[in-house]
Amino acid sequence: STQTPYMDRDEVAQVLAIASEQVRIIPSAVGGGFGGKLDCSVQPLLAVAAWVMEQPVRCTFNRPESLASSTKRHPARMKAAASCNQDGILTSFRFDGDFDTGAYASWGPTVADRVPIHSTGPYFVPNILAQTRALLTNGPPSGAFRGFGVPQSAIANEALMDLLAEKVGMDGLEFRLKNALCKGQRTGSGQLLENSVGQVECLEALQPRWKEWCATSLEFNQNSGNIKRGVGIGCCWYGCGNTSMSNPSTMRVGINAEGCITLYNGAMDIGQGANTIMVQICSEALGIPAIAFNFVMGDTDRTADAGKTSASRQAFVSGKASQLAGEHLRTQIIHLAEADEDATIRLEGNRIIVEDQAGEHPILLSDLLPRSNGDVLIGEGTFDPPTTKLDENGQGSPYATYGFGAHIAEVEVDLKLGTTRVLRLAAAHDVGRAVNPTQVEGQIQGGVAQGLGMALMEEYVQGVTENLHDYLIPTVGDMPDIEIMLIEDPEPLGPYGAKGIGEHALIPTAPAILGGIKHATAVAIPRIPATPDRVLSALKQKVNRV
């Protein structure tokens, strides 16, 4: 299992000191990401074992071995400050973050690059100083784990937004709405946002729920003793793709002499649905129903390099490459048939029927010479999002497009036990265009689950955490009712307007839950997860201060 078949291939070749072409990676259809899947941790070891033993080998971990060997989210210590004027308009922001990358660099430099860009949240701030360090320690290596440090920095930023709103006497959602990034504004890196900036629309979509839930929690608290309810809000923005660097993907689609059409998809599907949407996009571009497609996933001998399944890039980058591949193949077919550009195409056995106003133009596929993979017609598309490197002052265009979103969460806190329960959550996300709405909703639901775990229960202690009794993750009993609102502000560069959603969905959840705890109890939790002992400790300190 892997997120990076071509990276695996090159790492194995490097370790064995052979050419990359002598290594073939055939991925398995196993979901989930990060840990060993993004860090090429076992593939070179397996290759060496197979080489030495001259027989097939495999590596299996028990749970303690898996927990000990895989990378974790970067532990972070952050300090942030912000200011606004009397009207609630943000005027400045400062962020200092230390991210523990463990005994090796791993993804530390990448996190240190991404966090300062995103540390202000999706708000326009004219004066910014954001600095991040990735620190080497004697701890286990840290990994990107859905968000490259941005979920951590969002907790600090969103807490500041609540504090400032409180100081100027504004509603938390209204304060965010007043400062939300809009088209025509520049980000902290000086990048002009020209298209697909749906943060205002996300907040406006949540506004009715926010007002209703705040009123309901206030009424509940007036008639409740030890159980208190609160509503919190968190916002996010997230650059789709690698930071300020080339980020290409190549996709191919072919038709063989028997009329079988295949999408050669190098973008790994790790549960997010890339196999489905790549076919959907290519089908739309070619003009042949998706049900007619076969596909090959990730096989390095049969697919082109589509890059890593990380950084929320595949729907945007590989999706566009799939569109271009379909359009390339369609252009060849139209020209071969000498038909009009708007002609329809259909497959009938070993023939392609191209139909325009002049009538039908059949193409007999068996008359064409076979090329790679036995296909007689091949379309190829490559897309590399336009970005620029940041200068010494952090100025540039690090991402071609950004996803935006906001979550609100209603929580219930037991003041005697310190336990927190999330009752319901509403999530609004600007996805550009939802190619497959069901899969987009699934990504958001999964992000909420991870964000809930991050906020309330997931904590790894080196040398202590060995199993899923010690490392708690949310179950179905912990999950709230989730209402999802999809905002579609199309991105012109994306496939039919689409952007990514993979990592965005996690980012606002923990800030919203922590904001809800503060709203319910009037105490802030300075360290996550907000376990019962930490909530009780914060409540005790509040009493002692009074």
Q: Is 503 a catalytic residue?
A: yes
Rounded to the nearest 5 degrees, what angle is found at the Cα of 168, between the Cα atoms of 162 and 169? 80
What is the full DSSP assignment across 396-425? S---S-EEEEEEEEEEEEETTT--EEEEEE
Phi, psi of 4 (to 5 degrees): -140, 70
Give the burial class of 461: count Cβ atoms within 10 A of its Cβ; 0-12 exposed, 13-18 middle, 19 or more buried: exposed
497: left (phi over 0), alpha (psi -120 to 50) or beta: left
CA distance 344 to 165: 56
Choose the catalytic residue: 327, 441, 488, 503: 503
CA distance 505 to 406: 9
214-222: long-range pairs with CB below 8 Å, 24+ = 216/410, 217/410, 217/519, 217/520, 221/520
Using CA atoms, how far residue 284 sits from 45, 64, 296, 344, 493, in Å, is 42, 46, 18, 12, 16
Report DSSP state, residue 510.
H
Give the burial class of 299: count Cβ atoms within 10 A of its Cβ; 0-12 exposed, 13-18 middle, 19 or more buried: middle
Active site residues: 503
